[in-house]
Amino acid sequence: MKRLLVLCLAAFWAGTTFTASSQKPLIPNNTEVFKLYLETHGSYNEALSGEAERDRFLLNDLKVEATGTVTPWLSYAYRQVLCYRNEWVRANGFGSYIENAWVNVRLSDKFSVTAGKQDAARGGFEYDEYTYKIYDYSDMNDWMDCYFTGVGISYEPAETQELCLQVTNGNDNRSKSPSFYNLGWNSSYLDELLSLRYSVTAGQQAKGNWMWMIWGGQQVEAGKFLGYFDVMYTRGKMDPLGLLAEQFEPEDEESGSPIANTSYLSLVTRLNYQIHPKWNLFVKGMYETASVYKTNNPYESGKYRTSWGYQGGVEFYPLADDNLHLFITGTGRAYSLTERAKALDASVENTGRLSVGFVYKIPLF
């Protein structure tokens, strides 16, 4: 009886060993299949000038993100905003907003296809940074929509080169056909000492009303130093950014003339220096202009607004990774309006503040 029991156990062990070694699961049983994070950014803010109505305690960002690699050729991502920093979204009652919901299929070592709601394929390094890590965006990135539903094709001729072609819906999701086209080129050189992110975008905001965007960013990373410089230019018939449209919104929408034929230029740079493995110093500067490139009564052609933005601060990373960091920052904006803008009763207030807070990407699973 004992011999029979031993033989049965041996046969069972041999069978399970053979099954485990000869049949691999279709979906790997590891944490790469499903990762869940909570992205948070909170701060205490003390106004130095302007921003009198700004809350002192703010939860600037609260997002849940799920990502996974199901097989070597299939991956996905889902990110939902639980607390949105954009004032328009808050004012209109959109407390929750889906940013990403896409699936990526790798067709070969060089080609992949992404379908679903995704980030627009645009150049620049400020744009490429995770939103929850940003203290204050440039006007260009703060006002521009960047999440669209569509299809993107990526081609990597080499490990350091990537070409992206993306076709998406426009700002109006009711559009019957795709109306935004993005072409991006990302590359790196000298063992990632120099990295580039360039893009060209064309899109229809409405039938026959086109907008154009040319964005580019250069980044240098050498030892403890990391810095980038972005140049972004956008123009369109229907004010693609919407900044001047809000500045000069007609009191009577039926009889008033909305501003049109607008163009925007943004220059953004950020410099980081790691004085210690856990400590980082940074400064950031922004120069931006808003103009009308073709007269449309009562808006004459020419520049209307110039803004200068500055940031500086200290970041402390207490953990071994960069998921959590504490910060102290100073942020300010100064504005200059031209005479043609003042003639239309435009006004804008300079702002400045000190902030103390945290940024934490919390791994939940």
Residues 318-351 pLDDT 10s:
998 899 999 999 999 999 999 999 999 889 999 9
Q: Determine the Cα–Cα distance for residues 162 and 89; give it in Å rounded to an integer.
A: 33
- CA nearest neighbour of 280 among 310, 318, 309: 318
Under CATH, what is the fold of the domain 112-357?
Porin (2.40.160)
SS3 127: helix
Beta bridge partners of 315: 280, 327
User: Which residues in the chain show pLDDT less than 50?
Assistant: 1-27, 88, 90-95, 173-175
Please give the model's pTM, rounded to 2 decimal places.
0.86
pLDDT at 97: 81
pLDDT at 161: 98
pLDDT at 255: 52
pLDDT at 32: 87
Is residue 309 within 8 Å of residue 298, measured between CB atoms? no
DSSP letter string, 194-242: EEEEEEEEEEEEETTEEEEEEEEEEEEEETTEEEEEEEEEEEETT-SS-
Q: Determine the Cα–Cα distance for residues 122 and 166; give it in Å rounded to an integer.
A: 10
pLDDT at 14: 36
Is residue 82 within 8 Å of residue 42, measured between CB atoms? no
pLDDT at 49: 82
- CA nearest neighbour of 219 among 121, 141, 135, 125: 125
Q: Which two tokens mark 32?
A: 């790469």
pLDDT at 28: 52
- CA nearest neighbour of 124 among 10, 268, 252, 257: 268
Q: Which two tokens mark 138?
A: 């440039």
Is residue 238 within 8 Å of residue 207, measured between CB atoms? no
Q: Determine the Cα–Cα distance for residues 172 and 115; give it in Å rounded to an integer.
A: 18
| Cα angle 146-147-151, degrees, rounded to a multiple of 5 | 115
SS3 21: helix
pLDDT at 15: 37
